[in-house]
Amino acid sequence: MLLSFGLWFFGSILLGTNLFGVQQKTALVCGGGGFIGYHLVNKYKEEGYWVRGVDLKEPEFGPIYADEFLIADLRDPVAAKKAVFLEKGSFDEVCQLAANMGGMGFLAYHDAEIMHDSALINLNVLEECRKTGVKKVFYSSSACIYPLRNQLDPENPKCSEDSAYPADPDTEYGWEKLFSERLYLSYMRDYGMDVRIMRFHNVFGPQETWEGGREKAPAALCRKIAEAKEGDEIQIWGKGDQTRSFLFIDECLEGIRRLMLAPVRPPILNLGSEEKISINDLALLIAKIAGKQVYLKNVPGPEGVRGRNSDNAKIQEVLHWQPTASLESGLRKLYPWVLQQVEGKR
Ligand code: NAD
């Protein structure tokens, strides 16, 4: 009995089939050592895919679940070729999430590096996908592509997909994302590739960067509050009335998978929450979750646009779904994780 199970198990691995003899689907996650990529690798594994992750680094906060994990610099075309190459056939799905990125504290001061690195990664990966006949390619764009003029009022930002042009993103990071959106769309038109693009709006959750300069507002504020003593002051960049919405990682993954599995090729979609909050209120909400009283001190610092929120009309229309989890429910999962990291460093 045990022997026949063993033969069946190892036989299916050798044949590239799952345990029921069905050909196993394959996925490549570029940026698989990063926050969203790490979770996406796990999601694909749960769904039964054979998965390769590729990144400059291994995941920082958890074990590797990918069947294969390559350390590679995708700015190098030879490395990109190896990353996309499969011995037999081509990947069913490639998700391109690798980027040189971070929160406002990073984006505001690294224009050349961001444009150079991320453009090269996208050029190399997409070209290899074309050459090897990848079936479906996902590209992670960003809400940062939206024009500055529509994000001047914290209470009334406009970020519907059709408002992207005439283009005027406030950061070079946004311009690179816009360039790469157009690159993927060009490959779709000229080579008939199946390309799917989403504009993420501030994704957060456990395993995101929480220190070191690349962290974003939710994790940075969780860290500041976790490190604060009762009654301490914590610093908030800008006036703190700037607004954003934040999407919990589980719903980000669900949105990606729904888009990838959609039977028709949908247009570019926002993937975000519509629950807008000011940065001051975000800090106070985290303090409430932490059960600590802290005082906010608004200091000069890079704060980005005045207001930004997801507009989910299109995703609802196309995928008949939109994120619904509350911000508080997500923060109740992020805060204890960041607290654990902070305490682990003490
Ligand atoms: P992340 O920084 O955690 O992950 C990106 C990964 O890309 C990192 O692990 C990094 O090492 C890797 N990388 C960078 N340069 C590379 C190179 N030359 N070769 C190979 N790998 C390289 O970021 P994330 O939050 O997981 O974001 C994933 C994607 O989603 C990015 O493209 C990002 O721009 C996009 N996005 C994220 C958010 C968000 O709120 N997290 C919002 C909008 C868009």
Length of the chain: 346
| Cβ atoms of residues 181 and 225 within 8 Å | no
Q: Is the CB of 39 under 6 A from ligand 1?
A: no
3-state secondary structure of 199: strand
Q: Nearest C-alpha to atom 28 of ligand 1 is from which residue?
A: 97
Which residue among 29, 35, 113, 115 is best mutated to probe the pocket of ligand 1, counting the most ligand atoms within 8 A of its Cβ?
35
Residues whose CB is less than 8 angstroms from the CB of residue 130 and which lie 6 or more positions away in sequence, other chains included: 187, 191, 193
Residue 79 pLDDT: 98
pLDDT for 71 beyond 90: yes
* pLDDT computed for residue 9 by the predictor: 45
In ligand 1, the atom with minimum distance to the C-alpha of 38 is: 26
Atom of ligand 1 nearest to the CA of 33: 9
- Which is more confidently placed, 306 or 10? 306
How far apart are the CA of 91 and the centre of ligand 1, in A? 21
- With left for phi above 0 and alpha for psi between -120 and 50, is residue 316 left, alpha or beta? alpha
d(CA 36, ligand 1 centre) in Å: 7
Res 208: pLDDT: 96
Q: Convert 151-181 to b/e letters by CB count within 10 Å (16 or more is b).
A: beebeebbbebeebeeebbbbbbbbbbbbbb
Q: What is the DSSP letter of 106?
A: H
Of residues 226 and 62, more confidence is placed in 226
Q: What tens digit of pLDDT does each residue of 223-235 get?
A: 999 999 999 999 9
* pLDDT at residue 127 tops 80: yes
C-alpha angle 129-131-135 in degrees, rounded to nearest 5 = 45
Show the tokens assigned to 308: 């930004």
Q: How far is CA 345 from CA 25, 33, 34, 341, in A?
A: 40, 21, 21, 6
| CA–CA separation, 181 and 186 (whole Å) | 9
Cβ(92) – ligand 1 distance below 6 Å: no
Say whether pLDDT at 11 is over 90: no
Q: What pLDDT score does 271 carry?
A: 98
Indicate the top mutation candidate among 73, 97, 250 to test ligand 1's pocket, ranked by most ligand atoms within 8 A of CB: 97
* Residue nearest atom 41 of ligand 1, based on CA coordinates: 203
Question: Residue 73 CA: which ligand 1 atom is closest?
Answer: 19
Contact 219, 338 (CB under 8 A): yes
| 36 pocket-lining for ligand 1 (C-beta < 6 Å) | yes
337 SS3 class: helix
DSSP string of 95-149, one letter each residue: EE---S--SHHHHTT-HHHHHHHHHHHHHHHHHHHHHHT-SEEEEEEEGGGS-GG
By the 8 A CB rule, do 83 and 72 touch? yes
Residue 19 has pLDDT above 80, yes or no: no
Query: Model confidence at 283, in pLDDT bands (50, 70, 90)?
Result: very high
Q: Which atom number of ligand 1 is nearest to the Cα of residue 173?
A: 34
Whether 1 shows a pLDDT value over 60: the answer reads: no
CA 100–ligand 1 middle distance (angstroms): 6
Q: Which pLDDT belongs to residue 18?
A: 57
Q: Residue 320 has what pLDDT?
A: 97
Q: Rounded to the nearest 5°, which phi and psi values hold at 193?
A: -75, 150
- At 168 the three-state DSSP class reads coil
Question: pTM for this structure?
Answer: 0.94
Query: What residue has token string 């990125």?
Result: 101
Q: Distance between terminal CA atoms of the chain?
A: 51
Q: Has residue 47 got a pLDDT over 60?
A: yes
Which residues carry out catalysis?
Answer: 173
CB of 100 closer than 6 angstroms to any ligand 1 atom? yes
What is the CA(122)–ligand 1 centre distance, in A?
12
Number of the ligand 1 atom closest to the C-alpha atom of 208: 3
- Is pLDDT at 101 greater than 60 in this prediction? yes
Domains and CATH numbers, the chain: 2-204+247-275+308-324 (3.40.50.720)
CB of residue 56 inside a 6 A radius of ligand 1: yes
| CA–CA separation, 44 and 337 (whole Å) | 23
> For position 8, what pLDDT does the model report?
43
